[in-house]
Amino acid sequence: MALSNEQKLALFTNIVRAMTLDQMMMRLIRTGRLVGFYHEGGVALAPSVASGAFLRKSDPSWPHLRGHGVAHMLSRGVDVKPYFAEHMGREAGCCKGRTSFHMSFPEFHMWGASGNIGANFPLSVGFGFAAKRKETGQVVMNCSGDGSYAEGRAHEALLMASLWALPIVFWCENNQMSQHSALADVFPGVRVSALAPGYGIPAKVVDGQDVFACGEAALEAVAHARSGKGPYMVECLTVRCHEHSVGSVNKAGVMFRDPEQMAAWCRDLDPAKLAAARLIEDGVATEADIAEIQARAAKEPEEIEAFCNRSPATPPIEDLVKAVYAA
């Protein structure tokens, strides 16, 4: 399915915003202002930005953990300021700054990425079943990494979604790593989407560095599921050009992957740069248009940080214990 110029510009705007905010998170954690740890998105955010671009507000979706789902949230039009405030331990946070990064946005039917990787698969089946039974017309967007597909519940979900022809998009953001394990070491076969035909589910593999290819796949997958034809799988092939997370203890200082290879990916596979070149080449935008979009995105971190800083941090102990139900 072809994208309109307007849709391409929206995808481009959001990949620039997502990558800018990802770097903001990295600055926050490196300067001790972000509580906990952060899973850098880097050059792997194009699939995330496309995932929610063609959903309706009432469609349930699950972000993937990478980049803490910010790119998924932007794609759905969520205001991410309270989410940043939550990360910074501020009262203005989604949960008054008392938690971590597993936040839900019920108004958008966007549910928190679970700390339990793969937990969304059975829940997607539940949402899909309800949508079909109640004839709501909703589509469920089940985002995950490749890691979840090594779990039994992902396979049960694929089977049930197919048997009952549920309106679910299985959106796999495959960076070929799960934490410190390479996909090739834990997964038989070359492609996660090779599972789909076995379950009778149509599937598509796309270049995860190409935000427009990801967008076209999202458009097609959502239209398929919405039309009552059952589930659809999209595998977006991307890379992780840094270690799994920042902020967790690494006493041994071990690097699990080749730093030179990762630096080359960061340099050569930047989806925002690739998309900008395409927009200019195809006459969809001028250099000045691109610069304007980049300048607007560059201002966002300041606005978000000002919002967070206006809100008090570190509540008194009496207030903190009010949120503790058992100890």
Ligand X SMILES: Cc1ncc(C[n+]2csc(CCOP(=O)(O)OP(=O)(O)O)c2C)c(N)n1
Rounded Cα–Cα distance for residues 152 and 144 (Å):
14
Least gap, CB of 177 to ligand X (angstroms): 5
CB 300 within 8 A of CB 17: yes
Q: Using H for helix, E for strand and C for coil, what is the string for 128-185? A: HHHHHHHCCCCCEEEEEECHHHHCHHHHHHHHHHHHCCCCEEEEEEECCEECCEEHHH
Cβ distance to ligand X smaller for residue 168 or 236: 236
Cβ distance to ligand X smaller for residue 75 or 144: 144
β-pairing verdict for 168-174 and 177-178:
unpaired
Give me the residue whose beta carbon is nearest to ligand X: 145
Please pick, from the candidates 70, 117, 166, 234, the single residue that binds ligand X as defined by CB under 6 A.
117
Q: Any bridge partners for residue 174, and if so which?
A: 237
Please pick, from the candidates 179, 227, 248, 314, the single residue that binds ligand X as defined by CB under 6 A.
179
Query: Which residues are within 8 A (CB) of 197 and not within 5 positions of it... i.e. 6 or more apart?
Result: 203
Least gap, CB of 57 to ligand X (angstroms): 26
- Among positions 123-152, residues that touch ligand X (CB under 6 A) are 144-148
φ and ψ at residue 206, rounded to 5 degrees? -130, 160
Which one of 17-25, 170-178, 259-267, 292-300 is the stretch in contact with ligand X (CB under 6 A)? 170-178
Verify binding: residue 249, ligand X, rule CB under 6 A: no
Q: Which amino acid is at 44?
A: A
Cβ distance to ligand X smaller for residue 80 or 177: 177
Please pick, from the candidates 51, 61, 175, 209, the single residue that binds ligand X as defined by CB under 6 A.
175
Verify binding: residue 178, ligand X, rule CB under 6 A: yes
Binding residues (CB under 6 A) for ligand X: these are: 65-66, 115-118, 144-148, 175, 177-179, 240, 244
